[in-house]
Structure 1
Amino acid sequence: MIYRINEIFQTIQGEGVFTGSPSIFVRLQGCPVGCPWCDTQHTWDIDPAQQVSVERMLSKSTASAEWAELSAQAIVDCFQQQGYSAKHVVITGGEPAMVDWRPLAELLEARGYQLQIETSGTFALQVSAQTWVTLSPKLDMPGGYLVRADCMARANEIKHPVAMQKHIDALDALLAQYPPAANVVISLQPISQRPRATELAMQVCIERNWRLSVQLHKYLHIE
């Protein structure tokens, strides 16, 4: 299995259940979902002209559409070569569920890593049984993809971006259509830290005993 990787870096997880955890992020290149508020739109297209060496990809200091091809073993080797100490690995995008992460999961889990995947829920998941699945359902997006019932059933965490009441209503409809597992964690994440969105998310989280995800990394001004 060969993965198209936009970047690999070590930082603090700023969202969801694992907020505050030292983490290694592996960002995939390629996503057709088309979320208007996406802050990584440079990862959407897979342009052959933007393929670069692994060394150049790792040395990027600013966001770009450049990407490199790595095997599962090469990704693990990269962690060691970079001297990363974190044992929590976050697969993000782009849309990670477009490819099979089981080969990487097998290598990582054998070495004591915990794997988390962040997905829109619009593609069939190809992950290990131990992988923590964070599903951020993308509803009525320009790409036209639908959230899948099997993704909802597999999710460990549902992290929903909100700005207005209609986003809460859309999540309610999705939860009614595809009820998640009883122990799933549901969190609301204000889009772009807008005050009205944050106030709405806080109110609903308190009413329903859900969690608030505030994108801590943006407040800390880290990647």
Structure 2
Amino acid sequence: MIRVLTATWPVRGVRAFTTCRAGGVSRGAFASLNLALHVGDDPSDVTTNREIMARACGFDRQPLWLQQVHGQVVVDAGLSWTAPPEADGSFSTRRKVICAVLTADCLPVVLAAKDARAVAVLHAGWRGLAGGILESGVAALPVPPTELVAWLGPAIGAGDYEVGDEVRRAFGDSAHAAFIATSEGRYRADLYALARLRLKALGVTAVYGGGFNTFRDPDLYSYRQTPVCGRMATVAWIA
């Protein structure tokens, strides 16, 4: 039986969740519901895990799986892709088209129109946040930013996410409150705070979720905790 963390937000007609580790067939460091093909797990186990998730959630098709590169490209999940596109987010304005990203410490962000006519899922690690993945996601949706709602899924907590000065400088002085110095040239970075700052600047003020910590939660995958590990999926669709 799989377990998911469901988005709690006031958007009726759009469903979103992040999968947890349990309920799959992967073994060892990937145990058990690893949904990523690129981490060294047995591909047949990953395929089985994806089928388990789809059945458990009542999907009649797989999500659009992406080849994520920590970039800013957001694609239309409703197009007929013959292979996973190189992108870090997808969107849809059609019912039952499932958007998805894979994470294990990076921040998954779900955007949805308040009237449920559009949805997007974005992979927002620090490179994506600094490079403009949230901006790309907002621009892809045919909805004014003020009519969007965001949900922030499970990511590494600020207390366990130490980064170098190059990360702090990538966000500029306006984001200084999201970094706490720990030693010379080292900082604790708050991905949730960084995302909220970016969303607010874009005009997205209805932001829910946050408060997770993949590093400390044994039910979730964490790359910083265990570099060889699986990936969770954050999926969303117009129901």
| TM bucket, shorter chain | 0.3 to 0.5
- Please, what TM-score do these two structures have when normalized by structure 1? 0.36
- The higher relative CO (CA closer than 8 Å, separation ≥ 6) is in 2
TM-score (norm 2): 0.34
